[in-house]
Amino acid sequence: MIERIQKLIEEVNALHAQNAEEVEALRIKYLSKKGEVNALMNDFRTVPAEMKKELGMRINELKACALEKINSLRDALQVAEVAGGDIDLTRTPYPVRLGTRHPLTLVKNEIVDIFSRLGFTLAEGPEVEDDWHVYSSMNFADDHPARDMQDTFFVEAHPDIILRSHTSSVQARTMERQQPPIRVICPGRVYRNEAISARAHCFFHQVEGLYIDKNVSFADLKQVLLLFAQEMFGTDTKIRLRPSYFPFTEPSAEMDVSCTICGGKGCSMCKGAGWLEILGCGMVDPAVLEANGIDSTQYTGYAFGMGIERIANLKYQVKDLRLFSENDVRFLDEFQSAN
């Protein structure tokens, strides 16, 4: 019986398998109730008492050897399957949930794309700015209300350093380092010291545009804005320009588009007027050109600015500005098809 056990140990050590089915067959052959090890246990009952100790140790050795060999064969097959397959162990578990772009990002990208096709290049600048680039270079008077703490966020230790309240500071920096022709679009986040509500927030996003060259006219501005409105809201969109005032443009105007819901007939969205305001614009004030090192006798230009949240409100009918910054997945999932 000792020779039989030794032979089985040698046989087990030489085992090999090509697949999981063969491993399972070997387990049944050696370790099942009708297997070789169990058969030896049945024969163990008939051996003399003086041999039971030695035979018991040898049978346990065989059982442990068979169990270890079969487990090692199973593990080797699993490792080979992973190594030979397309499984990436660094990936997150399936199913992988697809994300969506934020609606403000979608609208910003669309605005930038439209103006890029009209020849505008992208320009960006810092959100923490100085008074010169935000206000003084833009022809804001020293006592202008925008400079007050109730309208602007100031850095406590540096009264001249503020969080920009509009992206016109990017226009100022562009004019400082570049002579005309200049044609840029400036998207970015801005900050105003306002109470948070459904219609206002302490931070929001703007896109401003600037074009400076010789013989630039208000007609050029109107045509560019009409093309933008029709690209953004549809080819049937109409625009109108109403006189307004901004420190950095003269003449200045606010632009309305025909209501995207009722087509100008009047509805709750446009409060029956048939028009919706979307941006401010105008010809760059000569004082702004001179303050930024550009000869106003040689060059003229126009500028415009719009709130991205405002455009998103009109495009997607979002009536509460707070939804854009609350990171509610249910809200963001609504824009999955717009990516």
pLDDT digits (tens, 9 = 90+) for 160-208: 888 998 999 999 999 999 999 999 999 999 998 888 887 778 889 999 9
d(CA 199, CA 232): 22
Q: Name residue 121's amino acid.
A: T
- pLDDT of 28 > 90? The answer is no
pLDDT reported for residue 17: 83
Q: Which two tokens stand for residue 264?
A: 């100008």
Tokens representing 92?
Answer: 């997150």
What are the sequence ranges of the domains in the chain?
Answer: 2-84, 103-338
Q: Which residue blocks in 32-137 are alpha helix, DSSP H?
A: 36-44, 49-84, 103-117, 131-134
Query: Does pTM top 0.75 for this prediction?
Result: no
Q: Which of 108-112, 141-145, 193-197 ranks highest by mean pLDDT? A: 108-112
Instruction: Specify whether the CB–CB gap between 110 and 234 falls below 8 A.
Output: no
Give the pLDDT score at 88: 65
Which residues are within 8 A (CB) of 324 and not within 5 positions of it... i.e. 6 or more apart? 102, 103, 104, 309, 312, 318
Confidence of residue 261 (pLDDT cuts 50, 70, 90): confident
Q: Determine the Cα–Cα distance for residues 96 and 108; give it in Å rounded to an integer.
A: 27
Higher-pLDDT residue of 24, 113: 113
Strand partners, 276: 257
**Distance between CA atoms of residues 264 and 130, nearest Å:** 42
Question: Nearest to residue 65, comparing CAs of 2, 3, 4, 9?
Answer: 9
Distances in Å between the alpha carbon of 284 and those of 103, 205, 294?
31, 22, 11
CATH code, 103-338: 3.30.930.10
Distance CA 79, CA 182 (A): 62
Strand 121-122 and strand 182-191: the pairing is: parallel
Of residues 27, 56, 57, 61, the one with CA closest to residue 43:
56
